[in-house]
């Protein structure tokens, strides 16, 4: 058969990610701040979208009827599949009221009648987001002064510390070479070559700008940073200088060798260590450009009157948008241009998809949170020691969704529980086997037990990793390898048994 080129028509099916589908996937993993910013951009971009103000107006009316979708879930471990959301018409308290009701008193949080019979979940999406409540006054961020950066703060001081224009140029270059901790990230030799000057000239300017505030700025290493701060306090002397030369011994808590090396008494060494601990090893972090953001829960969990748990979405962080179909109908009838019609159709499709995606995101958050509450009932009642092992697959199978969907929906989402505020991912922990074979233990609960044992250990009986593993096996029937204990201990910032013994014997806090 001869090989010749020819044309063929074939029909096949394949999966493709449309822009709308990619948008829905993206919305799942956004935090409430990010999704509100995203919706704000869409409101400016799409003329058919408008903010839903009906819920806010309805709250101001005394006899407004609120519609809540309530989900009843049987807490029986044999039924892992969540029931469909249904409308109940019951009026749930607002998210702010639930937050006020949450306290730390065990008697008020866990009455005797609270059991494990049921879980109720409420999606209160009828309220408009708080971002829109002050729309008529504009964004409050516009009236807040911008936080000054480290570069700006130091540039203002350079004018006072350095007189000559050439030295100010060097000082400006030194500022540009600071890292986020306030340390000089480039050596003086490199800076001198870049500027075509001598190393001595650069070091002269460096000594001048090291008098800037905050003290310790422009240091080239940790020792110099601490020395600059001590000199600023007029507390730098030869003995404390010798101590700074042996910071490695301080880190090891080898105070016996340290006293012998610098010739200090116990009292003097204790005073010097106390002074050093009061210093700031990262002076530049005070001018960190990233702003602190308060964590706001996406879901509230509280004990229900029927002995179960009530779950409610935080309506204040849920964006609500509507599609203005009246405007679309009016404009589409008048326009004759094909491009304008295509633009309107595209805006309508995007608007419909956005409202659908936002609703699906809210319902998915509620489903995942409900399953977490069902599986972690022991944690909600008794604390971290009763935290059960739980994986993304466990939740995904229970709510009949894909693991990737559960992973995305638990990213940057927080739950307010009677035990405190937790990120959703906190509840997903690996399982550690039990020697009794009856149940498995969560890795987070094991970390909690390790910390309790270390905090309660006696100075004469410091627990090694092997001893901790032995206690966990005998007392709690938890089989954990020594290497796993060491990994958990390091993750909790707990030093080794040797360092802890030195610290407690000397009664001096280490670095």
The per-residue pLDDT for range 94-132, each reduced to its tens digit, is 444 544 454 434 344 334 434 444 455 544 443 333 333
Q: What is the pTM of this model?
A: 0.56
> Where is 302: in which H helix or E strand?
strand 299-303
> Cα(407)–Cα(310) distance, rounded to whole angstroms?
23
| pLDDT 10s digits, 2-50 | 688 888 888 888 777 777 788 788 888 888 888 889 999 999 998 998 8
**Do residues 162 and 208 make contact, with C-beta atoms less than 8 angstroms apart?**
yes
| pLDDT confidence tier of residue 142, bands split at 50, 70 and 90 | very low
- pLDDT score of 366 more than 90: yes
Q: At how many degrees (to 10) do helices 199-209 and 165-176 cross?
A: 80
The torsion defined by the Cα of 478, 481, 487 and 493, in degrees rounded to 10, comes to 60
Give the architecture (CATH level 2) of 432-506. Answer: Orthogonal Bundle (1.10)
Domain boundaries, the chain: 20-129+295-424, 150-287, 432-506
Confidence bin at 237 (pLDDT 50/70/90): confident
pLDDT at 501: 79
498 contacts 255 by C-beta, under 8 angstroms = no
Contacts of 168 (CB under 8 A, 6+ apart): 158, 159, 162
The pLDDT > 70 percentage for the chain reads 77
Per-residue confidence (pLDDT) for residue 121, from 0 to 100: 52
Q: Which residue has the tokens 């209160």?
A: 124
Across the chain, what does the average pLDDT equal? 77
* CB contact set of 276 (below 8 Å; sequence gap of 6+): 226, 240, 243, 244, 250
The predicted model gives 356-375 an average pLDDT of 92
End-to-end CA distance of the chain: 82
The sign of the dihedral angle between the CA atoms of 434, 439, 443, 448 is negative
How many helices and strands in the chain, by DSSP H and E?
23, 11
């Amino acid at each position: 058969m001869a090989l010749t080129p020819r044309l063929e028509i074939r029909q096949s099916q394949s999966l493709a990610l449309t822009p709308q589908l990619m948008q829905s996937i993206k919305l799942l993993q956004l935090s409430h701040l990010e999704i509100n910013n995203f919706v704000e951009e869409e409101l400016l971009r799409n003329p058919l979208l408008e903010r839903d103000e009906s819920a806010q107006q309805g709250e101001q009316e005394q006899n407004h009827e609120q519609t809540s979708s309530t989900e009843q879930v049987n807490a029986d471990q044999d039924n892992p599949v969540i029931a469909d959301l249904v409308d109940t018409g019951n009026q749930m308290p607002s998210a702010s009221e639930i937050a006020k009701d949450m306290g730390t008193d065990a008697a008020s949080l866990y009455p005797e009648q609270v059991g494990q019979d049921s879980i109720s979940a409420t999606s209160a999406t009828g309220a408009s987001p708080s971002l829109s409540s002050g729309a008529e006054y504009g964004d409050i961020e516009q009236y807040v002064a911008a936080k000054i950066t480290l570069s700006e703060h130091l540039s203002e001081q350079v004018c006072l510390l350095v007189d000559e224009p050439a030295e100010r140029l060097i000082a400006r270059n030194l500022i540009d070479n600071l890292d986020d901790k306030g340390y000089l990230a480039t050596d003086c030799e490199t800076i001198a070559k870049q500027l075509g000057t001598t190393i001595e000239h650069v070091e002269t300017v460096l000594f001048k700008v090291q008098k800037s505030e905050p003290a310790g700025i422009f240091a080239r290493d940790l020792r110099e940073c601490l020395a600059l701060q001590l000199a600023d306090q007029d507390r730098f002397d030869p003995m404390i200088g010798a101590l700074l030369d042996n910071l490695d011994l301080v880190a090891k808590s080898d105070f016996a060798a340290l006293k012998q090396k610098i010739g200090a008494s116990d009292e003097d060494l204790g005073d010097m260590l106390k002074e050093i601990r009061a210093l700031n090893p990262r002076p530049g972090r005070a001018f960190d450009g990233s702003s602190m953001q308060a964590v706001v829960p996406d879901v509230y969990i509280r004990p229900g009157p029927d002995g179960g748990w009530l779950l409610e979405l935080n309506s204040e962080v849920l964006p609500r948008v509507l599609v203005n179909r009246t405007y679309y109908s009016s404009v589409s009838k008048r326009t004759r241009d094909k491009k304008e019609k295509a633009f309107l159709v595209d805006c309508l499709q995007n608007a419909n998809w956005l409202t659908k995606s936002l609703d699906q995101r809210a319902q998915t958050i509620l489903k995942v949170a409900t399953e977490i509450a069902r599986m972690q009932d022991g944690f909600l009642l008794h604390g971290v020691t009763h935290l059960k092992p739980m994986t993304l697959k466990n939740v995904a199978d229970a709510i009949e969704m894909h693991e990737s969907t559960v992973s995305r929906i638990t990213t940057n989402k927080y739950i307010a529980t009677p035990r405190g505020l937790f990120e959703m991912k906190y509840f997903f922990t690996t399982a550690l086997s039990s020697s009794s074979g009856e149940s498995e233990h969560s890795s987070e609960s094991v970390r909690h037990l390790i910390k309790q044992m270390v905090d309660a250990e006696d100075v004469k009986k410091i627990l090694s990793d092997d001893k901790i593993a032995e206690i966990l096996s005998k007392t709690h029937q938890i089989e954990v390898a020594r290497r796993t204990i060491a990994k958990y201990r390091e993750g909790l910032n707990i030093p080794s048994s040797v360092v802890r013994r030195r610290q407690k014997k000397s009664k001096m806090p280490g670095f």
